[in-house]
Amino acid sequence: MGDMPSTRDPRRRAQWAVVPAAAMLLLAGCGLDGSDPGVHALVAPTTPASGQVGDPDAEMAPEQSTEASAAAALDKTSAPAHLPQASLPPRDAVPADLPDSVAVVGDSLTESAQQEITAYLTALGIDVVTIDGAQNRRMTHGDRPDPGIDIVDRIQKVADPELWVIALGTNDVGAEVSPEQYGNDVRNVLAAIPADAPVVWVDVWIRDREAQVVTANDVLRETISGRADSTVADWFSHGDDPGIITNDGVHLTDDGRFMFAATIAAATVDLFESV
């Protein structure tokens, strides 16, 4: 991808991750190194969610309680120290009209963080009807794994989520597509989602391709700006946070999975504050 100039500040950070007051806060006492105290808030939700979408002709997997998976995700004494520690908003700051359901489509980052994403979104009272993440997934190209646009189509055959979270683009940047192709692929995925459905799209971080990533993220924001009730979750700004990304410069550490989920949740709340 070419190096187009960026006029936005790529380091703007989300200020908080929302947890409703009705949820049970889990407070842990150690940070990334196990010594610094911090407040780490999550919940063990009870809202059911189903698994990945596979064969379009098959029924959705039977709903199962997320309590066990959320408990597994939260079975830690340390969530990221970078989660905001004293700035959780008051309950009345959470929008009253959050969606009832969500589908999440992504690549290997989503696949690795699906338990944490489920925990954060169900903490907001949103039923996660499916999370489908796969290694090497691109937006519209490839057949192994199936591209994101195909997964969107499959989900719509068996479900009608009120919100879509799309976390794709990393592997498209890795494939060195042009900015024009990147924008076209984003538009095609958006066109596959019902026009009246809000969208949260997670942007991209790749340590060793920062210039290309900035270009891709600018293209994404420009494209998303043309769609109503849609926003970009700013994952890029957390890419160089300590302890969040593995040594390969792309994938999530255990702590990074919490931050990835928190970024999605914060962007969801921000979107519904503005609609």
Rounded to whole angstroms, how far apart are CA atoms 48 and 43? 14
The predicted pLDDT at position 97 comes to 85
Beta-carbon contacts of residue 229 (< 8 Å; ≥ 6 apart): 196, 197, 198, 199, 271, 275
Kind of pairing, strands 163-167 and 101-106? parallel
* Number of alpha helices (DSSP H) and beta strands (DSSP E) in the chain: 8, 7
Q: What type of residue is 173?
A: V
Span 107-136, pLDDT tens digits? 999 999 999 999 889 888 899 999 999 999
The predicted pLDDT at position 275 comes to 65
Reported confidence tier of residue 94, pLDDT bands at 50, 70, 90 = low
Q: Report the CATH number of the 48-274 domain.
A: 3.40.50.1110
**SS3 for 130?**
strand
Please check whether residue 189 is in contact with residue 197, taking contact to mean a CB–CB distance below 8 angstroms: no
Q: What is the DSSP string of 30-54?
A: --TTS-S-----------EE-----
E strands present in the chain: 48-49, 64-65, 101-106, 127-133, 163-167, 199-202, 230-233
Among 3-7, 39-43, 71-75, 175-179, which is the least confidently predicted range?
A: 39-43
The predicted pLDDT at position 124 comes to 87
The predicted pLDDT at position 93 comes to 63
The predicted pLDDT at position 92 comes to 57
Q: What type of residue is 135?
A: Q
The predicted pLDDT at position 274 comes to 73
- When pLDDT is averaged across residues 144-155 and rounded to a whole number, the result is 96
The predicted pLDDT at position 95 comes to 72
- When pLDDT is averaged across residues 146-172 and rounded to a whole number, the result is 97
Span 165-200, pLDDT tens digits? 999 999 999 999 999 999 999 999 999 999 999 999
The predicted pLDDT at position 65 comes to 36
The predicted pLDDT at position 61 comes to 38
| Domain regions of the chain by residue span | 48-274
H or E element that contains 109:
helix 108-112
Please check whether residue 262 is in contact with residue 83, taking contact to mean a CB–CB distance below 8 angstroms: yes
Residue 237 has pLDDT above 60, yes or no: yes
The predicted pLDDT at position 151 comes to 98
**Sole residue written with tokens 């120290």:** 81
The predicted pLDDT at position 247 comes to 95
Rounded to whole angstroms, how far apart are CA atoms 56 and 54? 6
pTM higher than 0.75: no
